[in-house]
A = this chain, B = another copy of it.
Amino acid sequence: MSEKTTIYDIAKELNISAATVSRALNNNPKISESTIKLVMDTAAKMNYKQNRLALALRSGKSGNIGVIVPRINTNFFGSVIRGIEEELHPNKYNVIICQTHEDESREIENINTLLDAQVDGIMISITNESKKNEKIIHRVLEKNVPLIFFDRKKNIDGVSSITIDDFKAGYIATKHLIDQGCKKIAHLCGDQSLEIYENRFKGYQKALLDNGITFDETYVIQSKSNIEDGISVTNKLLQLKTPPDAIFSASDFAALGAIQELKAQGIQIPKDFCVVGFGNEPFTKFMELSISTIDQSPLEMGKMTAKVFLEQMNNTEDFKMEKKIVLNPILHIRKSSSRQNL
């Protein structure tokens, strides 16, 4: 059992009331300087340690920041979190992380957990499924807890967000495939109810239009962000009467599945078929057939998210601040779509 020193022990030692000890420890101006010093010294001598959380309940500051992501084990979200930590840690904030596994009810639970843990702010990348939960976001805002969206956001007045230009990303990826001579470009898209996937799709469409290629909706097929789905949807695409000659995938994992299926069917990449993924997951670079992909600058995104949070925390003026930051996507051209050297 713990033998923790309490304020009652200090009170007994000094023969004063516990209330006085408590006030002294919290620098209450009603208490004399000499008493504050006496209490502080005695507390230190008796190895008293204030419960930071009890303190937080009083002061409204815990020094903890909550980060909510769909899943932690992708390079993208891992790197965003690292960026957040690198920026917040020197500012004495600790980061606690929750994952939703793309489950909206889990997202609501996570937010409640973080609110109950008295975090000083929440940074969130919403789930595929979080269509209905504006209510929980408003609950956070009503509590005056700063909330910032990164990558996947909702459009809510007064809420800052850090995203990348997904439209542009879709556009430059598709334009690159056109430049390689591809004419029947398929798109493995994500759930269109999520803005990021909608914008990647729109960028793809616009690039086709701008380059005189007729949009064919049979070439657009939804895929989850995993290898298995990439394999199965690519298999379906290859069974079309006029199969595509390229794929722009909204996910690196699905792109990897696509490449595996193409290889299994004996199709040569990039000679007969080009593939571009999305996310710049580490494996895209170190495959023997390296995969062209879009880099989303996740470290930068994390740092920006933390910076906007700090700005918001330090805003003592009587106005609401809202920042929308849109980072530039970068296309990395690798072997899977590079016909120059053939």
Q: Which of A12-20, A48-56, A166-174 contacts B (4 or more CB under 8 A)?
A: A48-56
Docked-complex contact A97 and B94, CB < 8 angstroms: no
The residue on B at minimum CB distance from A281 is B283
> Oligomeric state, in number of copies?
2
Task: For the complex, give the distance between the alpha carbons of A64 and B116 in Å.
Answer: 10
Taking the nearest CB of chain B, how far is it from the CB of A275, in angstroms? 14
Q: Cβ of A258: which chain B residues have Cβ within 8 Å of it?
A: none
Interface residues of A (CB under 8 A from B): 1-2, 51-54, 56-57, 62-64, 66, 71-75, 77-79, 81-82, 85, 89, 94-99, 101, 106, 109-110, 112-114, 116-118, 142-144, 227, 256, 260, 282-283, 286-289
- Are B286 and A143 touching (Cβ within 8 A)? no
Of the residues B116, B117, B283, B288, contact of A289 by C-beta under 8 Å = B288
Sort A-B residue pairs by CB-CB distance and give the 8 closest, nearest first. A73-B78, A52-B116, A72-B72, A97-B97, A53-B116, A94-B113, A2-B142, A117-B117
Cross-interface CB contact of A283 among B1, B81, B101, B283, cutoff 8 Å: B283
CA distance A214 to B287 in the complex (A): 36
A-B pairs with beta carbons under 8 Å apart, 18 shown: A2-B142, A2-B144, A53-B116, A54-B57, A56-B116, A66-B96, A71-B78, A72-B78, A73-B77, A73-B78, A73-B82, A94-B98, A96-B96, A96-B113, A256-B286, A282-B283, A287-B287, A288-B288
**A180–chain B nearest beta-carbon distance, Å:** 22
Q: In angstroms, how far is the closest chain B Cβ from the Cβ of A337?
A: 17
State in angstroms the CA–CA spacing of A89 and B73 once bound together. 19
Residues of B within 8 Å of A116, CB to CB, are 51-53, 56, 62, 64
Which residues of B sit under 8 angstroms from A82, Cβ to Cβ? 73, 101
Taking the closest CB of chain B, its distance from the CB of A253, in whole angstroms, is 9
Instruction: Say yes or no: B79 contacts A73, CB within 8 Å.
Output: yes
> Could you tell me if B112 and A52 are in contact, using CB atoms closer than 8 angstroms?
yes
Asked whether, in the complex, the Cβ of A75 is within 8 Å of the Cβ of B73, the reply is yes
Query: Smallest distance from the beta carbon of A255 to chain B beta carbons, Å?
Result: 12
Report the minimum CB–CB distance from A91 to chain B (whole Å). 13
Residues on B with beta carbons closer than 8 Å to the beta carbon of A289: 288
| CB atoms of A117 and B64 under 8 A apart | yes
